[in-house]
């Protein structure tokens, strides 16, 4: 059997973690033969709730779970971890934008970056879920300078899954028939869900999504808005932010990172190297391919004027967020 993999989930007493932990524990992410040690981090007042989560995880009697550690100490939670799901942060409520969380959440990521820097494996693979996810990801990486920047990512997979599901529903096909939808930029209402390079297979024939939908007005307006506003729509309906779908997306993201993407690409927030003219150092969502646990940005896609404007608008928002976050961390 493989060596035990150490996986930390922060915000482990919260609602996303409640779905996420079950999926991770039963092997949906790291494989059905991969033994796991689960490290669960939350804040001190949540330790009793977290204890309940630990009891439930034990009661699932899942053979892959070799050990569970519940703690309020980041130095314990991040010790020698191989994979980190950074969920612990305040969620937004109705009427807020995700960047409104910046002041409350960014310092969490500064402190956790500092702890990770000291005790996590240098190969740790990190997904930031807590909002504002892209900017929190940048801050985490900045304060963990001994860990390669490529090991820090943030989640835009939920947006990708939402976009894919909208297209599948519009065409009356199943989700796996739609591929290569891209999310560019910020996990926010300025994100750009782009189907110009996406394809759909219908009755054995593969064609581009715009060709299949034949309605550019829908694709350039209603479709984009629906995906951009989906998080807010869920909050309005549930009075709580997405949790089941967020946990599923976090699993998809981490599984693809460990297993690879094959011929298709997926979207992830990664630290920009300047690709597609985006400011270096922003955590920007790009289409990526993954092989041998390393992602590379898909290059040379043709960018229309329409796309260029949308990609730049979301980059401008990220630049502002990052500058505000850096100022907050230094205050």
- Residues in contact with ligand LMR by CB under 6 A are 91-92, 98, 131, 158, 231-232, 234, 241-242
38 is an interface residue for ligand NAD by CB under 6 A: no
133 binds ligand NAD (CB under 6 A): yes
88 binds, among ligand NAD, ligand LMR, none (CB under 5 to 8 A by kind): ligand NAD
User: Which of ligand LMR, ligand NAD, none has residue 170 at its interface (CB below 5 to 8 Å by kind)?
Assistant: none
Is 105 flagged in the annotation as binding?
yes
What is the nearest approach in angstroms of ligand NAD to the Cβ of residue 188? 10
- Residue among 187, 197, 230, 310 flagged as catalytic: 187
E strand or H helix that includes residue 9: strand 5-10
Is 187 in the active site?
yes
Give DSSP secondary structure letters for 228-286: HTHHHHHHHHHSS---HHHHHHHHHHHHHHHH--TTS-EEEEEE--SGGGPPTT-EEEE
Q: Can you say whether the dihedral through the CA atoms of 276, 281, 285, 287 is positive or negative?
A: positive
Asked if the peptide bond before residue 178 counts as cis, ω within 30 degrees of 0, the response is no
Among all residues, whose Cβ is closest to ligand LMR?
Answer: 231
What long-range pairs does 95-99 form, CB within 8 A, spacing at least 24?
A: 97/188, 97/189, 98/131, 98/132, 98/133, 98/187, 98/188, 98/231, 99/132, 99/135, 99/188, 99/317, 99/321
Cβ closer to ligand LMR: 6 or 162? 162
Catalytic center residues: 187
Residues that bind ligand NAD (CB under 6 A): 10-11, 13-17, 41-43, 46, 87-92, 108, 129-131, 133, 155, 158, 187, 241-243, 246
Residues of each annotated binding site for NAD(+): 42, 105, 129-131
Residues of each annotated binding site for substrate: 92, 98, 131, 162
């Amino acid at each position: 059997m493989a060596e035990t993999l150490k996986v930390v989930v922060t915000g482990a007493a919260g609602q996303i973690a409640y779905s996420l932990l079950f999926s991770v524990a039963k092997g949906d992410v790291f494989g059905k033969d991969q033994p796991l040690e689960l490290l669960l981090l939350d804040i001190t007042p949540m330790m009793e709730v977290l204890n309940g989560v630990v009891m439930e995880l034990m009661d699932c009697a899942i053979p892959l779970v070799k050990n569970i550690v519940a703690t309020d100490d980041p130095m314990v939670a991040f010790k020698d971890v191989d994979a980190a799901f950074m969920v612990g942060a305040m969620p937004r409520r109705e009427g807020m934008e995700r960047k409104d969380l910046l002041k409350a959440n960014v310092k969490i990521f500064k402190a956790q970056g500092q702890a990770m820097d000291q005790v996590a494996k240098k190969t740790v693979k990190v997904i930031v879920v807590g909002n504002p996810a892209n900017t929190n990801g940048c801050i985490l990486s900045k304060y963990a300078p001994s860990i390669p920047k490529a090991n820090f990512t943030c989640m835009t997979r939920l947006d990708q899954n939402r976009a894919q599901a909208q297209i599948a529903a519009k065409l009356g096909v199943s989700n796996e028939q739609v591929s290569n939808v891209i999310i560019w930029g910020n996990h926010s209402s300025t994100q750009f869900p782009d189907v110009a390079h996406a394809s759909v297979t219908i009755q054995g024939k593969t064609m581009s999504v715009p060709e299949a939908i034949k309605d550019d007005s829908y694709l350039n307006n209603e479709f984009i808005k629906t995906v951009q506003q989906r998080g807010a729509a869920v909050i309005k309906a549930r009075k709580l932010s997405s949790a089941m779908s967020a946990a599923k997306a976090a699993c998809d993201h981490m599984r693809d990172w460990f297993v690879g993407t094959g011929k298709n690409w997926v979207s992830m927030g990664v630290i920009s190297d300047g690709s597609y003219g985006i400011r270096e150092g922003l955590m920007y969502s790009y289409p990526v391919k993954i092989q041998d646990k390393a992602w590379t940005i898909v290059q040379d896609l043709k960018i229309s004027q329409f796309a260029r404007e949308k990609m730049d608008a979301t980059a401008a928002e990220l630049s502002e967020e990052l500058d505000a976050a850096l100022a907050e961390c230094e205050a």
